Amino acid sequence: MCAASDSPSRPIETFIFLDLEATGLPPSRPKIAELCLFAVTRHALENPQYSDLYSKQIPLFPRLVDKLCVCIDPRKPFTPTASSITGLSNEEFSRNKRQSFNIHVLHMITAFFGRQCPPICLVAHNGSGYDFPLLKAELATLGIAGLDEIYCADTLRAMKALDSKNSQPHQYPCQQASQFGRKKKYSLCDLYYQFYKVYPQNSHSAEGDVVTLIRVFQQRALDLICWMDSNARPFNTVGAMYKENERYASYS
Ligand code: DCM
Ligand code: MG
Ligand code: MG
Protein backbone atom coordinates (compact mmCIF):
# COMPACT_ATOMS: atom_id res chain seq x y z
CA MET A 1 0.00 0.00 0.00
CA CYS A 2 1.51 3.37 -0.97
CA ALA A 3 1.82 5.93 1.79
CA ALA A 4 0.14 9.30 1.17
CA SER A 5 2.77 12.03 0.95
CA ASP A 6 1.57 13.84 4.08
CA SER A 7 0.91 10.72 6.18
CA PRO A 8 2.82 10.37 9.48
CA SER A 9 6.58 9.90 9.05
CA ARG A 10 6.60 7.26 11.80
CA PRO A 11 4.05 4.79 13.15
CA ILE A 12 1.04 6.28 14.94
CA GLU A 13 1.41 5.79 18.70
CA THR A 14 -1.99 6.98 19.94
CA PHE A 15 -5.40 6.61 18.35
CA ILE A 16 -7.96 9.08 19.69
CA PHE A 17 -11.43 7.85 18.83
CA LEU A 18 -13.82 10.73 18.31
CA ASP A 19 -17.54 11.16 17.96
CA LEU A 20 -19.62 14.33 17.83
CA GLU A 21 -23.34 14.78 18.33
CA ALA A 22 -24.74 17.94 16.82
CA THR A 23 -27.86 19.83 15.84
CA GLY A 24 -28.20 18.19 12.41
CA LEU A 25 -26.56 17.29 9.14
CA PRO A 26 -25.09 19.50 6.39
CA PRO A 27 -26.19 21.73 4.79
CA SER A 28 -27.90 22.89 8.03
CA ARG A 29 -24.54 24.20 9.36
CA PRO A 30 -24.73 22.03 12.47
CA LYS A 31 -23.30 23.03 15.84
CA ILE A 32 -21.67 20.52 18.19
CA ALA A 33 -23.74 19.42 21.20
CA GLU A 34 -21.57 16.59 22.55
CA LEU A 35 -17.92 15.69 22.04
CA CYS A 36 -16.27 12.48 23.14
CA LEU A 37 -12.62 11.42 22.85
CA PHE A 38 -11.17 8.08 23.97
CA ALA A 39 -7.38 7.78 23.64
CA VAL A 40 -6.07 4.24 23.14
CA THR A 41 -2.45 3.33 22.52
CA ARG A 42 -1.20 1.36 19.55
CA HIS A 43 0.14 -1.17 22.04
CA ALA A 44 -3.31 -1.76 23.54
CA LEU A 45 -4.90 -2.19 20.12
CA GLU A 46 -2.17 -4.53 18.87
CA ASN A 47 -2.16 -6.62 22.03
CA PRO A 48 -5.76 -7.08 23.15
CA GLN A 49 -6.73 -9.14 26.16
CA TYR A 50 -9.34 -11.87 25.84
CA SER A 51 -11.79 -13.16 28.42
CA ASP A 52 -11.52 -16.59 26.84
CA LEU A 53 -7.84 -17.17 26.12
CA TYR A 54 -8.58 -20.28 24.08
CA SER A 55 -11.14 -19.01 21.57
CA LYS A 56 -9.68 -15.47 21.30
CA GLN A 57 -12.83 -14.31 19.55
CA ILE A 58 -13.98 -11.23 21.39
CA PRO A 59 -11.25 -8.85 22.53
CA LEU A 60 -11.85 -7.17 25.88
CA PHE A 61 -12.35 -3.42 25.72
CA PRO A 62 -8.96 -1.76 26.37
CA ARG A 63 -8.41 -1.12 30.09
CA LEU A 64 -5.98 1.81 29.84
CA VAL A 65 -8.02 4.52 28.15
CA ASP A 66 -8.06 8.28 28.69
CA LYS A 67 -11.58 9.65 28.20
CA LEU A 68 -13.03 13.11 27.65
CA CYS A 69 -16.76 13.71 27.19
CA VAL A 70 -18.16 17.21 27.09
CA CYS A 71 -21.72 18.46 26.61
CA ILE A 72 -21.86 21.72 24.74
CA ASP A 73 -24.86 24.02 24.40
CA PRO A 74 -25.10 24.36 20.59
CA ARG A 75 -27.06 27.65 20.82
CA LYS A 76 -28.86 26.56 17.66
CA PRO A 77 -32.12 24.60 17.30
CA PHE A 78 -31.78 20.86 16.84
CA THR A 79 -33.49 19.48 13.75
CA PRO A 80 -36.36 17.20 14.78
CA THR A 81 -34.41 14.14 13.57
CA ALA A 82 -31.23 15.09 15.42
CA SER A 83 -33.17 15.70 18.62
CA SER A 84 -35.08 12.46 18.27
CA ILE A 85 -32.06 10.19 17.60
CA THR A 86 -29.75 11.80 20.17
CA GLY A 87 -32.28 12.46 22.92
CA LEU A 88 -30.83 15.96 23.23
CA SER A 89 -32.88 19.16 23.23
CA ASN A 90 -32.23 22.89 23.43
CA GLU A 91 -34.51 23.09 26.48
CA GLU A 92 -32.41 20.59 28.45
CA PHE A 93 -29.17 22.42 27.60
CA SER A 94 -30.73 25.68 28.85
CA ARG A 95 -32.15 24.13 32.00
CA ASN A 96 -28.76 22.60 32.81
CA LYS A 97 -26.93 25.88 32.07
CA ARG A 98 -24.30 24.19 29.88
CA GLN A 99 -21.67 26.36 28.20
CA SER A 100 -21.24 26.82 24.46
CA PHE A 101 -18.22 25.70 22.38
CA ASN A 102 -15.81 28.11 24.04
CA ILE A 103 -12.13 28.49 24.87
CA HIS A 104 -12.45 26.07 27.80
CA VAL A 105 -13.39 23.25 25.41
CA LEU A 106 -10.32 24.06 23.32
CA HIS A 107 -8.12 23.97 26.43
CA MET A 108 -9.63 20.63 27.48
CA ILE A 109 -8.95 19.14 24.03
CA THR A 110 -5.39 20.42 23.79
CA ALA A 111 -4.57 19.34 27.37
CA PHE A 112 -6.01 15.91 26.56
CA PHE A 113 -3.83 15.66 23.45
CA GLY A 114 -0.84 16.89 25.45
CA ARG A 115 -0.95 13.76 27.62
CA GLN A 116 -0.81 11.36 24.67
CA CYS A 117 2.27 9.88 23.06
CA PRO A 118 2.73 11.25 19.49
CA PRO A 119 2.14 10.71 16.62
CA ILE A 120 -1.56 11.12 17.47
CA CYS A 121 -4.33 10.20 15.06
CA LEU A 122 -7.98 11.19 15.47
CA VAL A 123 -10.25 8.37 14.32
CA ALA A 124 -13.93 8.80 13.51
CA HIS A 125 -16.48 6.85 11.50
CA ASN A 126 -17.35 9.02 8.50
CA GLY A 127 -14.93 11.48 10.10
CA SER A 128 -13.95 12.95 6.71
CA GLY A 129 -17.58 13.59 5.86
CA TYR A 130 -18.76 14.91 9.21
CA ASP A 131 -16.77 14.98 12.46
CA PHE A 132 -13.45 16.41 11.23
CA PRO A 133 -14.92 19.25 9.09
CA LEU A 134 -17.43 20.06 11.83
CA LEU A 135 -14.74 20.24 14.52
CA LYS A 136 -12.68 22.40 12.16
CA ALA A 137 -15.66 24.76 11.69
CA GLU A 138 -16.22 25.09 15.44
CA LEU A 139 -12.50 25.69 16.12
CA ALA A 140 -12.55 28.41 13.47
CA THR A 141 -15.27 30.24 15.42
CA LEU A 142 -12.67 30.54 18.22
CA GLY A 143 -10.09 31.84 15.75
CA ILE A 144 -8.21 28.51 15.74
CA ALA A 145 -7.09 27.47 12.25
CA GLY A 146 -6.15 23.89 13.16
CA LEU A 147 -4.55 21.47 15.58
CA ASP A 148 -0.81 21.11 15.03
CA GLU A 149 0.76 17.68 14.68
CA ILE A 150 -2.56 15.86 14.87
CA TYR A 151 -3.46 13.39 12.12
CA CYS A 152 -6.91 12.09 11.29
CA ALA A 153 -8.33 8.98 9.65
CA ASP A 154 -11.82 7.83 8.75
CA THR A 155 -12.81 4.24 9.60
CA LEU A 156 -15.61 4.30 7.00
CA ARG A 157 -13.06 4.96 4.24
CA ALA A 158 -10.58 2.54 5.80
CA MET A 159 -13.03 -0.36 6.03
CA LYS A 160 -14.16 0.14 2.43
CA ALA A 161 -10.55 0.41 1.24
CA LEU A 162 -9.52 -2.75 3.08
CA ASP A 163 -12.47 -4.67 1.64
CA SER A 164 -11.82 -3.49 -1.91
CA LYS A 165 -8.12 -4.33 -1.53
CA ASN A 166 -9.09 -7.86 -0.58
CA SER A 167 -11.50 -7.71 -3.57
CA GLN A 168 -13.92 -9.94 -1.67
CA PRO A 169 -15.71 -8.16 1.17
CA HIS A 170 -14.39 -9.41 4.49
CA GLN A 171 -16.34 -12.48 5.56
CA TYR A 172 -17.74 -12.07 9.03
CA PRO A 173 -19.05 -14.91 11.13
CA CYS A 174 -22.63 -13.68 10.98
CA GLN A 175 -22.58 -11.87 7.66
CA GLN A 176 -23.82 -13.90 4.77
CA ALA A 177 -25.09 -10.95 2.72
CA SER A 178 -22.15 -10.82 0.33
CA GLN A 179 -22.68 -14.47 -0.54
CA PHE A 180 -26.13 -13.58 -1.81
CA GLY A 181 -24.91 -10.61 -3.79
CA ARG A 182 -26.32 -8.02 -1.39
CA LYS A 183 -24.27 -4.92 -0.77
CA LYS A 184 -22.36 -4.82 2.49
CA LYS A 185 -23.43 -2.03 4.82
CA TYR A 186 -20.79 0.17 6.39
CA SER A 187 -22.70 2.23 8.96
CA LEU A 188 -21.18 1.94 12.43
CA CYS A 189 -24.27 0.13 13.65
CA ASP A 190 -24.23 -2.36 10.77
CA LEU A 191 -20.51 -3.08 11.11
CA TYR A 192 -20.98 -3.72 14.82
CA TYR A 193 -23.86 -6.09 14.06
CA GLN A 194 -21.79 -7.96 11.47
CA PHE A 195 -19.04 -8.57 14.02
CA TYR A 196 -21.00 -9.09 17.23
CA LYS A 197 -24.45 -10.30 16.05
CA VAL A 198 -26.23 -7.75 18.25
CA TYR A 199 -26.88 -4.07 17.72
CA PRO A 200 -24.74 -1.64 19.73
CA GLN A 201 -25.99 0.15 22.82
CA ASN A 202 -26.30 3.91 23.23
CA SER A 203 -26.21 4.76 19.52
CA HIS A 204 -26.17 8.49 18.82
CA SER A 205 -24.67 9.39 22.17
CA ALA A 206 -21.09 10.55 21.59
CA GLU A 207 -19.69 8.21 24.24
CA GLY A 208 -21.81 5.25 23.08
CA ASP A 209 -20.69 5.69 19.49
CA VAL A 210 -17.02 5.93 20.52
CA VAL A 211 -17.29 2.69 22.49
CA THR A 212 -18.97 1.05 19.47
CA LEU A 213 -16.28 2.39 17.14
CA ILE A 214 -13.47 1.02 19.32
CA ARG A 215 -15.15 -2.41 19.47
CA VAL A 216 -15.50 -2.42 15.66
CA PHE A 217 -11.89 -1.25 15.27
CA GLN A 218 -10.67 -4.04 17.54
CA GLN A 219 -12.06 -6.63 15.12
CA ARG A 220 -9.70 -5.47 12.34
CA ALA A 221 -7.13 -3.63 14.40
CA LEU A 222 -3.94 -4.76 12.67
CA ASP A 223 -5.24 -3.98 9.17
CA LEU A 224 -6.73 -0.65 10.24
CA ILE A 225 -3.59 0.46 12.06
CA CYS A 226 -1.48 -0.38 9.00
CA TRP A 227 -3.92 1.50 6.72
CA MET A 228 -3.88 4.54 8.99
CA ASP A 229 -0.09 4.64 9.21
CA SER A 230 -0.13 5.08 5.42
CA ASN A 231 -3.31 7.06 4.90
CA ALA A 232 -3.86 9.33 7.91
CA ARG A 233 -3.63 12.98 6.93
CA PRO A 234 -2.87 16.10 8.95
CA PHE A 235 -6.00 17.44 10.66
CA ASN A 236 -4.94 20.87 9.42
CA THR A 237 -5.56 19.82 5.81
CA VAL A 238 -9.26 19.16 6.55
CA GLY A 239 -11.56 21.86 5.22
CA ALA A 240 -14.13 23.38 7.58
CA MET A 241 -17.71 22.19 7.01
CA TYR A 242 -18.75 25.83 6.74
CA LYS A 243 -17.47 29.26 7.55
CA GLU A 244 -19.38 31.21 10.18
CA ASN A 245 -20.00 34.25 7.97
CA GLU A 246 -20.53 32.50 4.67
CA ARG A 247 -23.88 31.21 3.55
CA TYR A 248 -22.47 28.23 1.62
CA ALA A 249 -19.12 26.48 1.86
CA SER A 250 -17.65 23.29 0.52
CA TYR A 251 -15.31 20.95 2.33
CA SER A 252 -13.23 17.90 1.47
N1 DCM B 1 -27.62 13.26 12.37
C2 DCM B 1 -28.85 13.68 11.90
N3 DCM B 1 -29.67 12.78 11.24
C4 DCM B 1 -29.28 11.52 11.06
C5 DCM B 1 -28.04 11.08 11.52
C6 DCM B 1 -27.22 11.98 12.19
O7 DCM B 1 -29.20 14.83 12.07
N8 DCM B 1 -30.10 10.68 10.41
C9 DCM B 1 -26.78 14.23 13.06
C10 DCM B 1 -27.16 14.35 14.52
C11 DCM B 1 -26.10 13.55 15.23
C12 DCM B 1 -24.90 13.72 14.33
O13 DCM B 1 -25.42 13.78 13.02
O14 DCM B 1 -25.86 14.08 16.52
C15 DCM B 1 -23.86 12.66 14.45
O16 DCM B 1 -24.38 11.40 14.08
P17 DCM B 1 -23.99 10.08 14.83
O18 DCM B 1 -24.82 9.95 16.06
O19 DCM B 1 -24.24 8.98 13.86
O20 DCM B 1 -22.57 10.18 15.27
MG1 MG C 1 -20.76 9.87 14.57
MG1 MG D 1 -22.68 9.75 17.34
pLDDT band at 62 (very low <50, low <70, confident <90, very high): very high
Pairing of strands 66-71, 32-41: antiparallel
Query: What pLDDT digit, counting tens, does each position of 3-13 carry?
Result: 677 999 999 99
Number of other CB atoms surrounding residue 10 within 10 Å = 8
Is there an atom of ligand 1 within 6 Å of 36 CB? Answer: no
Query: Annotated catalytic, 204?
Result: yes
Q: For residue 211, how far is its CA from the centre of ligand 2 (angstroms)?
A: 11
Average pLDDT, the chain: 91
The residues whose Cβ lies within 5 A of ligand 3, an ion, are 19, 209
Is there an atom of ligand 1 within 6 Å of 83 CB? Answer: no
| 15: β partners | 40, 121
Model pTM score: 0.92
Catalytic residue among 104, 107, 170, 204: 204
pLDDT at 44 over 50: yes
Q: What are phi and psi of 194, to 5 degrees?
A: -60, -35
**Residues 40-58: what's their mean pLDDT?**
88
Residues 39 and 9: their CA atoms lie apart, in Å, by 20
Query: What pLDDT digit, counting tens, does each position of 181-240 carry?
Result: 568 899 999 999 999 999 999 999 999 999 999 999 999 999 999 999 999 999 999 999
Q: Which stretch of DSSP H or E encloses residue 85?
A: helix 80-86
